[in-house]
Amino acid sequence: MTKSLSQSRLPLYSFVVFVFLFAATPAEAHLNSTGMGPIYDGLMHFLLSPEDLAPVLALALLAGLRGASHGRRALFVLPAAWLLGGLIGLAATSSSAHPVISAFWFLLLGGLLAADAKLSLRVTTALAALLGLYHGYLNGTGLGLSATSATVLLGLIFAVFVLVALAAALVARLHASWARIAVRVAGSWIAASGLLMLGWAMHKV
């Protein structure tokens, strides 16, 4: 019965699919016409820049370890500060990331995460604000003033928001001790990378 029914509907389904295929508009994979390209540029820039990605991940994991309230605070403060820093940076003439300061963020956030530091909500907020302002400023100066800079910045901030939301939410619901230790190990890796960055910075001097 079921089989005969589906067989009888097959031509109808085929017709609908056929019509949809013919009605399809041109693919806009490269996003030239939609104007969404700069959004994805910003998004991918963040996801492919470990010097931005790792401290944000460390902060998100740290906030997640401290609980949902810290996660929510980081989720909104960090992108907001990043946007503010970015807008200031867009107007700035020039600036470059100092490797020692970048290493400092790795060390600080990775170290706090590895130590499972019991931070207050105020400290988490301050860390999120400072990190967002610093990295947003650097991104803004890197972009410079152009027609698409603000859109790129928006994409970047969207990526920050999504990463913090996912990472903090994932960690906030972890209760198994081994899982929380795995998160702390990630923190020690980030801090260790920061120490080596510091060494690289001194090496070049």
Q: How is residue 171 written in tokens? A: 């960690």
If the CB atoms of residues 10 and 181 are measured against another protein, the closer one turns out to be 181
* Segment interacting with another protein, rule: CB under 8 A, options 28-36, 48-56, 84-92, 159-167: 48-56
**What distance in Å separates the CA atoms of residue 171 and residue 186, rounded to the nearest whole number?**
12
Site membership for another protein, residue 111 (CB under 8 A) = yes
* Cβ partners under 8 Å of residue 134, min gap 6: 85, 101, 105
Calpha distance 37→151 (Å, rounded) = 9
Name which of 176, 173, 193, 197 is nearest 61 in CA terms. Answer: 173
> Which residues 117-156 are close enough to bind another protein by CB under 8 A?
none
Of 191, 196, 203, 199, residue with least CA distance to 57: 191
Please select the residue that binds another protein; options are 38, 39, 43, 54, rule is CB under 8 A: 54
Rule CB under 8 A: say whether 30 interacts with another protein: no
Question: Is 91 or 181 the residue whose CB approaches another protein more closely?
Answer: 181
Nearest distance, CB of residue 67 and another protein, angstroms: 21
Min dist CB 53 to another protein, Å, is: 10
Identify the DSSP state of 20: H
Judged by CB, which is closer to another protein: 74, or 197?
197
Question: Token pair of 33, please?
Answer: 């016409």
Separation of CA 107 from chain center: 19
Number of residues that bind another protein (CB under 8 A): 28
| Interface ranges with another protein (CB under 8 A) | 44, 48, 50-51, 54, 99, 102, 111, 114, 178, 181, 184-185, 187-189, 191-200, 202-203
